[in-house]
Amino acid sequence: MSRLVLVSNRLADPRKPAAGGLAVALGDALAASGGLWFGADHEVIEDGDPRAGELRVQRAGRVTLVTVKVARGDYERYYRGYANGVLWPVFHYRLDLAQFDAGHMDAYRRVNRLFAQKLQPLLQPDDVIWVHDYHLIPLAAELRALGCQQRIGFFLHIPLPPPLILAAIPAHEWLMQALFAYDLVGLQSEADLNHLRSYLSSEARAEVFSSHRFGAFNRVLRAGAFPIGLDVDAFAALTQGAAARKTLATMREQYAHRRLLVGVDRLDYSKGLPQRLRAIRTLLERHPETRYSATLIQIAAPSREEVDAYGDIRRELEGLAGAINGDFGDLDWMPIRYLHRTVARNRIPGLYRASAVALVTPLRDGMNLVAKEYVVAQDSADPGVLVLSRFAGAAEQLTDALLVNPYDTEGTAEAIRRALVMPLEERRQRHERLLAKIRRYDVHWWSKTFLDSLLEAHP
């Protein structure tokens, strides 16, 4: 078996249950192959510190974790400036929020080159390298420049926008050409794959060999849609755990006479939170029977607070939640409970299960795992209803949710009302179909399908 080498900006200890995401998804494959996980060190050192570029090596069972120290100036420009100041907004269709700065792009290249220089000596000829997300798009090109011949795959966790949006990025040609250094590029959805295809044929004049194979820059690129899933059994077990049950009991007691709606998001402008609150206002205005009977618990976990746009969205949300509570609330009822805080992971399934409706209404999202978690946490005898944005990658799979356009305030409010009154039989049928999809395309399916395709893709 080839050794798996995972590369991502940050890494987590795969032995820790709270690690989540990639650690859960790839922990087994990493451990089974005695794998290596490489990324930036959590300690960002001051500029001029001679330790820049130093490696820290840790063992986590059979997995080796290697992190590289990056100096503050470069890390800020690479991470906050370019990855989260340009790529995140543009890839979520928010050109208005992108802040282009040539210095940030240079640092992005430099940090990718540093990663490549430090990783390359650790590689073995037979390794399979899997690079994750928008922080590291040019990594394979840097590795190839150092002579790496190994199989290298890339997975983009966020959406890929249409060609004319991508083309607004100065040096987009360089960025997209860098993808050709990978043997396989994985995207979350068919929509993203269509955008890649049309970018490559219109902007890069690539030869389209088939719907998944493209030729340009003397290389062949394979690409596919590999929608990421959950570790369903682990999440179901978390739902049965003590913390989740306690949370469920507390919620049931506190809201005995009310229906709960829930939203759980990182506080990010892509998640459509202001639009969601406006839909709640419309619901309360148009359907007075929902007053006193429904409460939205909105968790907005703090995220990237050093980026300006995140401060703006936070202030906007606080204003909206305060105004709705002020206008509609009463001594014994508030329509919105807004928490700007991270809630412990083991309590979240209890909150999902206590809620009659989940509002997952991003303006654009690569996949959105909250939608899937909510479905898994439900009691199948009396499940809640998922209201899901059609602009989340998950909407391609979860067609039995109530799909909404989050920009359409009235339409979203109406879907929430419909969710609140949906008969048990319909809720059960929808839930059964949603759960079957989520189980079939779980995280193990995702990693296996991607890695199998990567092995096939290599010449």
- Which of 104, 132, 157, 431 is catalytic? The answer is 157
Residue closer to ligand GDG (CB basis): 239 or 290: 239
Across the beta sheet with 294-301, the strand order is 336-339, 294-301, 259-266, 357-360, 385-389, 402-404
Task: Name the β-bridge partners of 6.
Answer: 37, 130
Task: Kindly tell me the burial class for residue 149, based on how many C-beta atoms sit within 10 Å of its own C-beta (0-12, 13-18, 19 or more).
Answer: exposed
Q: Are 26 and 55 in contact (CB under 8 A)?
A: no
Smallest separation (angstroms) from ligand GDG to the CB of 396: 12
CB-wise, 72 or 390, nearer to ligand GDG? 390
Kindly compute the dihedral angle of the four CA atoms of residues 40, 81, 100, 171, in this order, to the nearest 10 degrees.
-10
Q: How far is the CB of 155 from ligand GDG (least distance, A)?
A: 8
- From the CB of 428, what's the least distance to ligand GDG, in Å? 24
Indicate the pairing of strand 36-40 with strand 63-68.
parallel
For the CB of residue 426, give the shortest distance to ligand GDG in the complex, in Å.
Answer: 26
Q: Do residues 71 and 49 lie in contact, with contact meaning Cβ atoms separated by under 8 Å?
A: yes
Joined together, the tokens standing for residue 95 give 């050109």
> Of 368 and 412, which has the nearer Cβ to ligand GDG?
368
Closest CA to 129 of 113, 156, 150: 150
> In 3D, which of 148, 87, 100 has the Cα closest to residue 123?
148
Marked catalytic residue, from 365, 400, 431, 442: 365
Q: Is the dihedral of CA 168, 174, 180, 181 positive or negative?
A: negative
Give the Cα separation of 427 and 422 in Å (integer). 7
Task: Tell me how far, at minimum, the Cβ of 381 lies from ligand GDG, in Å.
Answer: 24
Which residue, 165 or 216, is less far from ligand GDG as judged by CB? 165
- 8 Å CB contact between 168 and 95: yes
Measured from the CB of residue 223, what is the shortest distance to ligand GDG in angstroms? 17
C-beta separation of 201 from 236 below 8 A: no
Both tokens of 7, joined, read 């590369």
Least gap, CB of 44 to ligand GDG (angstroms): 21
Minimal distance in Å, beta carbon 112 to ligand GDG? 20
Which residues contribute to the site for ligand GDG (CB under 6 A)? 157-158, 228, 264, 266, 299, 301, 342-345, 348, 365-370, 373
3-state DSSP assignment of residue 222: strand
Residue from 9, 79, 80 nearest 38 by CA: 9
**How far apart (Å, rounded) are the C-alpha atoms in residues 275 and 267?**
13
Rounded CA separation 287/284 (Å):
5
**Residue with Cβ nearer ligand GDG (18 or 249):** 18
157 is annotated as an active-site residue: yes
CA distance 313 to 169: 23
Task: Using the minimum distance from each CB to ligand GDG, give the nearer residue, 159 or 216.
Answer: 159
Amino acid (one-letter) located at 292:
Y
Residue placing its CB nearer to ligand GDG in the complex, 227 or 383: 227
Report the residue number, 275 or 368, with the smaller CB distance to ligand GDG.
368
Burial class (CB in 10 A: 0-12, 13-18, 19+), 136: buried
Residues marked active site are found at 157, 365
